[in-house]
Structure 1
Amino acid sequence: MSDFMHDPLSDPLAGPHGTAVAPDSEPDIDSLHHVCRELAEAADAVREASRYASHVALGPRLPLTALGSRRTRAAQRSLLRTLLDPKGLGWGPQGRTPLAGTLWLAGVLTSRENLAVSLAVAGLKARIRAAAVRHPELLDHPATSKVLKAIEEDRQVEAFRTFKALLHTEGAEYALALLAPSFADIIAWNALTDENPYNDNAGWQVATGRALTSDYLVGANGRIWDFLDRGKGRAEPHTPDPELVESLDTSGTLVGYITNIGLIGTAGLLLVQRVIGPDGVQRYVVQFAGMARTLGAESPQDLLGAIDSVAGADTAYSRAVRKALRQVIPSGAEVALVGHSQGGVTAMNLAGHPDVNALYTVTHVVAIGSPIDQKRPADPRTKVFSLVNEHDIVPSLEGRSAVSPYPLGPEFTEYTWTDDTHAFPLCHAAERYAHNLAHDVPEASAHVDAELAAYRGRVTGTRFFTLHDR
């Protein structure tokens, strides 16, 4: 076990009187998750207390009142000591008043200790420890433990260099897969303890299980990505190569849909299959591919669109798909949305869009390797399935990992697993997910197939669309 876990002062899960937990006595995951949530709630409460104390001590009212009363001035000094003393709230100024904001910024830039941040970081460490029960390589690997130790000691430059060395020695594929179960927690930990004041809010959101409204690297707000990804979206009917049509899966199974997504690729194609179900009702299955490896492509499936789809709800990709669906699906029809990666996020964005729900009944969303956990469908009857390989880093990009202590909502069913690839992006590929579901976790595939039974029948129509950004 690494030094990171053997330091009782830095380990929130140390045993009685600071003794470390023995490596051969793994703690109960439910207990660890309870600790994680308790620490996050305590951090939130201390932060709120700091904000209130800052408003009283540094706001516009008390200083004026304090001029006329020795007792009030003494109370103000005591409150300021509590706010600024390491034995109190640490360097705890918070809030929107100019003085509180200036002191908070000074604390961030000079790496001052803060009780609320310390508690939040302890919770993130506990989450990493919980992830390591299922993925011991997280803490056993010398390079990853060195990265965590460097972040803990506020040596972010060294942490970056160590991670870069890990990429060089082990390869990016293994390194990213190794960190995937705790990637969001590590980035949030860094955001809370680095000297960048702009990403603190994202760090707090990840640490407390809230939905991200900005990214945790530079702190850019979601509205910025909306502005940059402002294409109107356009959908044109597409005549595919006959070989592609011939190779499409028409079994109506989950593995079949994912296979189709792999076949249509990431060049901007959308696939819609019309199915006559066992009950004779006509339904539609829309199949979405993920991100192309380009920036600024004519297709909305580029890097900018992927970032915007996670941070926002209405993107060029979703706008283009809505225009495609209006051309082929009649109003009132039942629809299932199946997407991989960015396609799964877009499927969730559409399920949450009022116009889509006004036109159609979205019965199911199936997201494969997608960061969708902070999103919700507009119709509570919509069933959502999230399928995640735990070595895939993409599903954790919105701040919740596959081993999170925070459960999903009642409309969600989440299946997670590990396979023997331990390599990214191989484990993220649609083809690999199809293999996993067919051979490694067939029970997950069988469950989703049972839920989608109404969509298993004769395919009576297949339509392709080319999606454009503008």
Structure 2
Amino acid sequence: MSDVNSGPLPGPSSDPPYGSASTAAPGPEPDVASLHHVCRELAEAADAVREASRYASRVALGTRLPLTALGSRRTRASQRALIRTLLNPQGLGWGPQGRTPLAAVAWLAGVLTSRENLAVSLAVAGLKARIRAAAVRHPELLGHPATSKVLQAIQEDRQVEAVRTFKALLHEEGAEYALALLAPSFADIIAWNALTDENPFNDQAGWQVATGRALTSDYLMGFSGRVWDFLDRGQGRAEPHTPDPDLLGALDTSGTLVGWITNIGLIGTEGLLLVQQVIGPDGVLRYVVQFAGMARTLGAETPQDLLGAIDSVAGADTAYSRAVRKALRQMIPSGAEVALVGHSQGGVTAMNLAAHRDFNVLYTVTHVVAIGSPIDQKRPADPRTRVFSLVNEHDIVPSLEGRSAVSPYPLGPEFTEYTWTDDTHAFPLCHAAERYAHNLAHDVPEASAHVDAELAAYRGRVTGNRFFALHDR
């Protein structure tokens, strides 16, 4: 594994880096479990080095040493040696960290001048190993000439060229194919770029992705989740809605996963929420809440807009979730059992409601089913809530919160994750609710059957289909 630590990862043909032009016969594929172990070890080592750098910075560049000690020749010599260790490529690289003024200025200077940093190098090595592990299942990641050039440009700190090459890939192959091509490692590539570019604001997000932590800011500009929460200030409003008779007639009442996703595709992304009232096999009245994803137009008047989508990933209490809570209070009695089924932003909102303590006081959330949704860093407030995450690996949306479907980091015990690939290899086609319904009916019927069995209590006579129109304000 020395190549993982010290240099570019070999592509399927080992040479040149990322396998862009080699004609050599491919060697044996690496063991994915071993690569994932290396990824986690490198992330832990990077964290440890970063913490050591923080401590050394506090001692050498802060006020940790009293003035009386600084008068000692031995102390001054030790301080100089520590500073050399912090700044020496053979030591911690350019390693100043922390909030003391000198450390902050030195760190910023290092970012702006692309100085080598041991902690960052270890974190990037782990991200490279993750990309290589993903390429075992998705060889096109390293085998495609354009993606190989993008990765090589990032490797050599040529971010402008990386962006130019990616734009060329979008032009030549089409955005649909290009985004699907990068989807399995999109978050890892973006985090790698964030850690090595000259933008100091997105470093924290890069670190969080590299070490498997929940994102608290975006990894493009580095805006904190609190910023998006402040901008997404709509109080949320819900009004009963009478749908078109054709929509009512087309609704699926089978009480199956494929049926619920079909319904989500039917209600569209213009601010409708569907709640089906079901009498289960045991005679108990339960409710299935079905959430659609983001509207396709910018500046939509519903809470399902782009701003709301970003806020829903970074935060928990959004205009969308507030509007849904107001809708459900009009229909569902306190204490009732509910299942939350959502696609894309709708899945994130379902998970945000499951994580909301007040919502769990009102209702018993038995299940959350998220389809094509970035929910992996969220957790339900009630440990009894079962969460199902269903992901097409060419769908880029589920990886937007930093964890991809081929991540080395497992999900919590309350999660069941099903992932697959199909022959679309195109985004957003592979993200569409209709495509997910097709996948679950024909490509991965075992996943659909498992979810149906787990939610058997919600399969019964539908006694009501209630619609609500959701508004931002």
- The match for 1:313 is 316
1:348 aligns with 2:345: no
Q: How does 1:160-171 map to 2 (within 5 A)?
A: 160-171=163-174
Residues 82, 65 of structure 1: CA spacing in aligned structure 2 closer, same or farther, 3 A cutoff?
Answer: farther
**Corresponding residue SS for 1:284:** strand
The alpha carbon displacement at 1:6 in A equals 8.9
Q: For the aligned residues, what is the CA RMSD?
A: 1.7
The alpha carbon displacement at 1:66 in A equals 4.5
Q: How does 1:216-235 map to 2 (within 5 A)?
A: 216-235=219-238
Distance in structure 2 (CA, Å) of the matches to 1:212 and 1:323? 28
1:92 aligns with 2:95: yes
The alpha carbon displacement at 1:64 in A equals 2.4
- The match for 1:140 is 143
Checking the alignment, whether the CA contact within 8 Å between 1:369 and 1:389 is kept in structure 2 is yes
The alpha carbon displacement at 1:375 in A equals 0.3
Q: How does 1:234-383 map to 2 (within 5 A)?
A: 234-383=237-386
- The match for 1:185 is 188
Checking the alignment, whether the CA contact within 8 Å between 2:3 and 2:9 is kept in structure 1 is no
- The match for 1:10 is 7
The alpha carbon displacement at 1:9 in A equals 4.4
Distance in structure 1 (CA, Å) of the matches to 2:127 and 2:441? 34
Distance in structure 2 (CA, Å) of the matches to 1:298 and 1:403? 36
- The match for 2:71 is 68
**Corresponding residue SS for 2:330:** helix
Cα deviations by residue, 1:80-118 (Å, 9 ceiling, x for unpaired)? 010000000000000000000000000000000000000
Letter in 1 for 2:78: A
Work out which of the residue numbers 41, 48, 51 in structure 1 matches 2:51.
48
The alpha carbon displacement at 1:10 in A equals 1.6
Letter in 2 for 1:51: R
- The match for 1:460 is 463
Checking the alignment, whether the CA contact within 8 Å between 1:8 and 1:19 is kept in structure 2 is no
Unmatched 5+ stretches in structure 2: 20-24
**Corresponding residue SS for 1:400:** coil
Checking the alignment, whether the CA contact within 8 Å between 1:154 and 1:193 is kept in structure 2 is yes
Checking the alignment, whether the CA contact within 8 Å between 1:57 and 1:63 is kept in structure 2 is no
Checking the alignment, whether the CA contact within 8 Å between 2:5 and 2:125 is kept in structure 1 is no
Count of residues in Structure 1 that have an aligned counterpart in Structure 2:
463
Q: How does 1:406-421 map to 2 (within 5 A)?
A: 406-421=409-424
When normalised by structure 2's length, the TM-score is: 0.96
**Corresponding residue SS for 2:341:** strand
Checking the alignment, whether the CA contact within 8 Å between 2:5 and 2:122 is kept in structure 1 is no
- The match for 1:131 is 134
When normalised by structure 1's length, the TM-score is: 0.96
Residues 63, 144 of structure 1: CA spacing in aligned structure 2 closer, same or farther, 3 A cutoff?
Answer: farther
Cα deviations by residue, 1:124-170 (Å, 9 ceiling, x for unpaired)? 00000000000000000000000000001100000000000000000
The alpha carbon displacement at 1:216 in A equals 0.1
Q: How does 1:148-167 map to 2 (within 5 A)?
A: 148-167=151-170
Checking the alignment, whether the CA contact within 8 Å between 1:259 and 1:430 is kept in structure 2 is yes
Cα deviations by residue, 1:174-216 (Å, 9 ceiling, x for unpaired)? 0000000000000000000000000000000000000000000
The alpha carbon displacement at 1:295 in A equals 2.4
Which 4+ residue blocks in structure 1 deviate beyond 4 angstroms?
Answer: 5-9, 18-22
Distance in structure 2 (CA, Å) of the matches to 1:240 and 1:82? 68
Residues 13, 57 of structure 1: CA spacing in aligned structure 2 closer, same or farther, 3 A cutoff?
Answer: farther
Work out which of the residue numbers 419, 438, 442 in structure 1 matches 2:441.
438
Letter in 1 for 2:171: H
Checking the alignment, whether the CA contact within 8 Å between 1:108 and 1:194 is kept in structure 2 is yes
Task: Using the aligned pairs only, state the percent identity.
Answer: 88
